[in-house]
Structure 1
Amino acid sequence: MTRRIPLNWPILRQLRSGDVFGRAENTQSKKSKEMTARIADADRVARSVCPFCAVGCGQRVYVKDEKVIQIEGDPDSPISRGRLCPKGSASEQLVNSATRRSDILYRAPGATEWTVIDHDTAIDMIAERFIEARRNHWQDVDDQGRRLNRTMGIAGLGGATLDNEENYLIKKLFTAAGAIQLENQARI
């Protein structure tokens, strides 16, 4: 066992140099001097909202070469002031997961397997079904002859991952289409 010289102890070096709080170079290791922040290489920073619950915590999304490299709380957010819960802190894993699907899957009625369809086909299918449900369940008047102008074939459920403006526009769309069954996840 080697004998240590008391004059070379870190605490004595710290006090000799006048560094009372231990923040000077003599308390840093070579490894800690060479470390850089994970976000130092980011090309740009995008602001976002955490997708997990109705609180709407602000996030800063750090992007390098069009790939998300880190997600942190946004200190400018009046809601979360830079803090994220454990799920919000793990958002980067959600985005970069190897098991995340990036294509659109469709399972036809009665089918047992999913098939991949393109974006335009999926949008057309949704629009056709929306219009058909509105047409098939439209009510001009009720049993007593009162004007209704509504459909009971369409319902809307807004999500907490959308901001107020997006939810407002979705509500306006559904109301203009005649739907009256509108709810939001944040209210349920």
Structure 2
Amino acid sequence: MRINRRDFVKLTTVAAAGLAAVPAFGGLSKAFAAPAVDRAKNLDPKWTKQTTSVCAFCSVGCGLLVNTSLETKRAVNVEGDPDHPINEGSLCAKGASSIQMTENPDRPGKFLYRAPYGEEFVEKDWDFCKKRIARLIKDSRDKSFQEKNDKGQVVNRTMGIASLGSAALDNEECLAMHSFMRSLGLVYVEHQARI
């Protein structure tokens, strides 16, 4: 039997409609309707707070709607923002799964650290990593800090650290990051979108 593309689409559409309508297959129509009902129940404004955000995966800057539980203060749902001018509510596969960046039980909570000139990796937690990064920033800043330039003018800058911003940050995050970098005295502050 020869079949063209148009006939194939017609056959698959009829087959899918038939499967969804037949309760003998476990009530597929109920299975498709259940997530929407559950989702509406989960997004009840009585116990969640909805905020807008920006997807952090690439530099397109798609808008997200994030529902956070008022009880646990954790994200319960992330979806595309229909009022956002870039994505108009649609999300790619990465953006649709962006809730896994924060609400993922498989996300590692410990990290492997190898001391300078060391040969073995040792497991460390977040607190160690944050303190280590802060210590390295402080040491590098202290070593490369210039209070005055060659002409004797006060510059208060550090030439040993650079910052590369992300296009996935929203305006408020960019302002906070830029203000922090300038408060350290950084001169080399760049952004991903310009490179």
Asked whether the two chains share a fold, i.e. TM above 0.5, the reply is yes
- How many aligned positions are there? 162
Partner of 2:137: 130
* Whole-angstrom distance in 2 between the partners of 1:105 and 1:76: 42
8 Å contact kept, 2:157–2:187: yes
Return closer, same or farther for 1:95/1:112 CA change in 2, 3 Å cut-off: farther
Letter of the structure 1 residue corresponding to residue 55 of structure 2: C
* Whole-angstrom distance in 2 between the partners of 1:169 and 1:69: 26
* Whole-angstrom distance in 2 between the partners of 1:42 and 1:102: 27
More helix by share: 2
- Tell me how far 1:137 sits from its aligned partner: 0.5
| TM-score normalised per structure 1 | 0.67
| Counterpart selection for 2:170 from 156, 163, 183 | 163
* Whole-angstrom distance in 2 between the partners of 1:90 and 1:119: 23
Higher CA-based Rg: 1
Return closer, same or farther for 1:170/1:41 CA change in 2, 3 Å cut-off: same
Partner of 1:85: 92
- Tell me how far 1:149 sits from its aligned partner: 2.0
Q: CA RMSD in A?
A: 3.1
Partner of 1:148: 155
| Counterpart selection for 1:182 from 185, 189, 194 | 189
* Whole-angstrom distance in 2 between the partners of 1:96 and 1:142: 48
- Tell me how far 1:132 sits from its aligned partner: 1.2
* Whole-angstrom distance in 2 between the partners of 1:145 and 1:46: 53
Alignment deviations for residues 76-128 of structure 1 (CA, whole Å, 9 cap, x no partner): 32332101123323435666667532334433222344333233332222222
8 Å contact kept, 1:73–1:82: yes
Partner of 1:50: 55
Return closer, same or farther for 1:134/1:40 CA change in 2, 3 Å cut-off: same
- Tell me how far 1:133 sits from its aligned partner: 0.9
Partner of 2:15: none
Return closer, same or farther for 1:92/1:128 CA change in 2, 3 Å cut-off: closer
8 Å contact kept, 2:112–2:124: yes
Mark the runs of 5 or more structure 1 residues left unpaired by the alignment: 1-26
Return closer, same or farther for 1:106/1:161 CA change in 2, 3 Å cut-off: farther
